[in-house]
Chains A and B, each alone.
Chain A
Amino acid sequence: MAHLLQTTFLPSSSPLIRRNQTYILRISGSRTRVNAKIREIFMPALSSTMTEGKIVSWVRSEGDKLCKGESVVVVESDKADMDVETFYDGYLAKIMVDEGGVASVGSAIALLAESEDEIAEAQAKAAASGSPSSPSSETSNSAAVVAAVPHPQPEKVKLAEPAAVTVGSAVHPASEGGKRIVASPYAKKLAKELKVELARVVGSGPKGRIVAKDVEAAAAGPAASVAAAGPAGIELASVVPFTTMQGAVSRNMVESLAVPTFRVGYTITTDALDALYKKIKSKGVTMTALLAKATALALVQHPVVNSSCRDGNSFIYNSSINIAVAVAVDGGLITPVLQDADKADIYTLSRKWKELVDKARAKLLQPHEYNTGTFTLSNLGMFGVDRFDAILPPGTGAIMAVGASEPTVVATKDGRIGMKNQMQVNVTADHRVIYGADLASFLQTLAKIIEDPRDLTF
């Protein structure tokens, strides 16, 4: 009968099967070429509010061959259980978070090797990095720490003073001198949510118990007093292991030391570019896209600056001009890539850029979207930085550091003094393939394009 009625009022006839919603795993190719065929499988973000996920079960086990699109793991988010499938073919080399374990979104939960031979290599890599693993090993680790470190009683007393709580109720009578923390269920939940360490909270509840308002006060209170020492949420004088992203950055930076680099700077007048930007900003064009486009057009005329030397014996003129732009994301740095920036028009490029930034913020970038750059742009102008020096990412030929465009008093050729907006750029390049004259002429071309930006909009 229901079908005879207005259809919009009917429940969907297909049963909602939660388990069958599948999500694609984001797998990052390591940016270092050495491990290019071992990929990390990340904890995916299955909902907008998900910050961590629990591994319900691994559908596949170590050593299994995986095909693109196959379910690998069942992940429990704050909302539901979901099957997660792989985006790449390969072998499940190493499970880094066991069933029942919890991992934060974006952290590695397993390694995927491209071929069978690389399984061992991947496992060695996982062992070396001392991955966050199963809850059992975690507890045994922390247990060891507790045993080794005497409980920080003096510190606790010190912290008790500013809270202005009478000493009598500061310590729970049965907390055995602070060894045991007595906190109500909601206080514990709040502490986890607000990232407050219960050991540092003084309880005001019955018999010195920590209750919700103590945690709220602790979360709100220290922000002001700690401001001098550092931003809230940062534990001072503590050892913080690298996140996956920090680890990758660290490896790349060390590797960059093997490349002999040099720098060439240039001052470019941006009045015309600023005027153009003002004119087409309303169409969604961004300054980043404009700079990327200008750089790409300059690179067309100077292919050597867009080349890369990987082995020290030869170099390659890259076939496409892919401009990578460094973006600061929460807890790190990522370089989304505007592919074929010389070919795409400025509007397409702007849209593409916005999309990439959104993806980067949501940690949803696919590997090809951040590791295929041939030339890198790094812009700190928005902070008021007038000039700086960038480190060359391994595998590319050059990187350009862009400072702020600022009103500057300049002498013009006709003998007058005028005010112009100028910005300083500073290019770092691999001297094995790119020489001073190459960079100088590239910069000259770039300056011409920026100072007369008609070509940027076609």
Chain B
Amino acid sequence: MHCSAAFSQAATSATAVPTISGSRHVGALHSSSSSSSCTLLIPSKPINLRFCGLRREAFGFSPSAFTRCSNSQRVRLPSRRRFKGSNVSASLGDNGIPKSFDYDLIIIGAGVGGHGAALHAVEKGLKTAIIEGDVVGGTCVNRGCVPSKALLAVSGRMRELQSEHHMKALGLQVHAAGYDRQGVADHANNLATKIRNNLTNSMKALGVDILTGVGTILGPQKVKFGTDNIVTAKDIIIATGSVPFVPKGIEVDGKTVITSDHALKLEFVPDWIAIVGSGYIGLEFSDVYTALGSEVTFIEALDQLMPGFDPEIGKLAQRVLINPRKIDYHTGVFATKITPAKDGKPVTIELIDAKTKEPKDTLEVDAALIATGRAPFTNGLGLENINVVTQRGFVPVDERMRVIDANGNLVPHLYCIGDANGKMMLAHAASAQGISVVEQVTGRDHVLNHLSIPAACFTHPEISMVGLTEPQAREKAEKEGFEVSVVKTSFKANTKALAENEGEGLAKLIYRPDNGEILGVHIFGLHAADLIHEASNAIALGTRIQDIKFAVHAHPTLSEVLDELFKAAKVKDHASNPVSEPVAV
């Protein structure tokens, strides 16, 4: 971390904090600040990081929460950063750039992608502004990953408490576990508010200007926000995200026919809900609704549930997450018309065969959740002013997130990250893309390896993956002429999983036996979402199996599931890469 001398004291305490983990960290901060008003703010910090994939840098300045409690610091910290930012701007001017800009970097959209980019930009010394037309935090924090994790935390506990068999096996006795819908809804809403405040404060604390209003690109390096405020910047990042995609013919009334935006408010728990789409969003909501007592009908256009997952994982997930639960499904069908409930009539859903287009069935349910994916939110962005034509709404970009115009040329100084470019519609992917862009504009070429970005579905148990699925890997191998091997291990062989009485699960490693390269890892099982990072980091850093297999895992932990995979993989001898020289300590 780059710090001026005047800042060193604050920086020292800031960098020291993250190394202390968990509750002890909270306790330490609390006692040192000795201000009762900040007790609520501090614990929310780590949650913020866990759910949204925000970067450690945000954490590095975690005294922002601490700052809020002490007046002197709140004023001092931001002012120092801002001062530093303008310093850099001035020096650029000295370097002979003819035009002076209001900012070095303007980010349109303060979601997780914009936030990640902003924090990294500040670290790199850029004077940064972020434009937000709605609320800070974007989809993830307000209408996506964050509130859904709150609901899933509830559903996971409910499910456990309701599983008589599971409880009995642990020797526990629980009678008549129940829930209060409003209490659950409040938990989700409070969490979103908390994370949103943390996000806002972390940016304010670093001196990022938050400009409120809808952002429109007027021309190269020029943006309008609100009604008539015009600002200029050397570089612009579009990070406007996405909205739920609703296919035509479906009438969303927000009450009985809803999208994830409404569902996360949990205004009612229907007896029977149809979920259109069985991807991540649909699957997570099926977990929530069935735990709260609803029955669920999946409607999937493809022939198989959970398309996009590795087929083997999908199959196992279906056995565990669908078949034993109060869920049925229709596959290979489109919902062509969905009419909300009114005048005493239920929600009606007309289904047609996805291939023959013939009417197949009509369903009557209490509610329908549309989880058919997300559509980019790029309307009104003023892309026509710079001759950029969207493709199905997505902003076309190259591998460095540089925007491509209608003629196929790069638009200078304009980048697009996150859901708006559609490369990988995940909060943490947006953030990683933003960081990559900041690296480029500050003079270091950087191309993000999307195959190293993990994804997770927070059902119970969780599903996570990184890299290629087995069919993708085999296709690639066929084309490029290399061999592919697969090893698998069961959670039933893991002591910690068995101690938790959660032996259901599978982990699978797809790799090249000739050089030990990890092509993909897929996990279905307890805490899979947390386990995947050893694999994703290995892919990102290019670590080979023959090296990582010597890394030590604490026993007994779930991480041994991955250890098991690495050790079971058979890499050909000639590929052996000596482990780096042992260091004597």
Contacts and interface: CB of A to CB of B under 8 A. Distances in A.
A174 B348 contact: yes
Interface in B489-506: 489-490, 492-495
B530 interface: no
B518 to A, nearest CB: 16
B296 interface: yes
Given A2-B560, A174-B348, A185-B296, A15 B568 contact: yes
A185 B272 contact: yes
A413 to B, nearest CB: 66
A31 interface: no
Classify chain B: how many residues form its interface, as a range: 20 to 34
A164 interface: no
A172 B363 CA distance: 12
A173 B348 CA distance: 12
Interface string B457-496: 0000000000000000000000000000001111011110
Interface stretch (A101-109, A135-143, A204-212, A258-266): A204-212
A185 B489 contact: no
A10 B488 contact: no
B585 to A, nearest CB: 16
B328 A15 contact: no
29 contacts: A2-B553, A2-B563, A11-B489, A11-B493, A11-B494, A11-B560, A12-B493, A13-B564, A15-B487, A15-B488, A16-B488, A16-B490, A16-B493, A18-B488, A18-B490, A78-B319, A79-B319, A81-B315, A174-B345, A174-B348, A184-B271, A184-B272, A185-B272, A186-B326, A205-B271, A206-B366, A207-B346, A209-B272, A211-B271
B297 interface: yes
B296 A15 contact: no
A2 B326 contact: no
A17 B495 contact: no
9 tightest A-B contacts by CB? A185-B328, A186-B326, A11-B493, A16-B490, A15-B568, A185-B295, A15-B489, A184-B295, A186-B295
Nearest to A16: B490
A20 B120 CA distance: 49
A446 B560 CA distance: 68
B552 A1 contact: yes
Nearest to B298: A185
Interface string A166-200: 00000011100000101011101100000000000
B248 interface: no
A209 B347 CA distance: 13
Contacts of A16: 488-490, 492-493
B555 interface: yes
A9 interface: yes
B326 A189 contact: yes
A209 B560 contact: no
Contacts of B50: none
A220 to B, nearest CB: 20
A81 B567 CA distance: 25
Nearest to B327: A185
Interface of B: 271-272, 295-297, 315, 319, 326-328, 345-346, 348, 362, 364, 366, 487-490, 492-495, 552-553, 555-556, 560, 563-565, 567-568
Contact of A206 (B271, B297, B560, B565): B271
Contact of B555 (A9, A14, A15, A180): A9
B22 to A, nearest CB: 24
B488 to A, nearest CB: 6
Q: Is the interface of B mostly helix, strand, loop or mixed?
A: mixed
Nearest to A174: B364
Contacts of B319: 78-79
A5 interface: yes
B481 to A, nearest CB: 26
Contacts of B362: 174, 180
A289 B563 CA distance: 55
A9 B556 contact: yes
A1 B348 contact: no
Contacts of A189: 326, 328
A81 B492 CA distance: 17
A15 B552 CA distance: 18
A367 B209 CA distance: 82
Contact of A9 (B297, B488, B495, B567): B495
Interface string A297-317: 000000000000000000000
A375 B552 CA distance: 67
B297 A185 contact: yes
Contacts of B556: 9
A272 B315 CA distance: 62
A172 B492 CA distance: 46
A161 B477 CA distance: 65
Instruction: Name, among B362, B487, B552, the residue most crowded by chain A CB atoms within 10 Å (CB to CB).
Output: B362
A11 B495 contact: yes
Interface in A3-28: 5, 9-18
A15 B328 CA distance: 33
Nearest to B344: A207
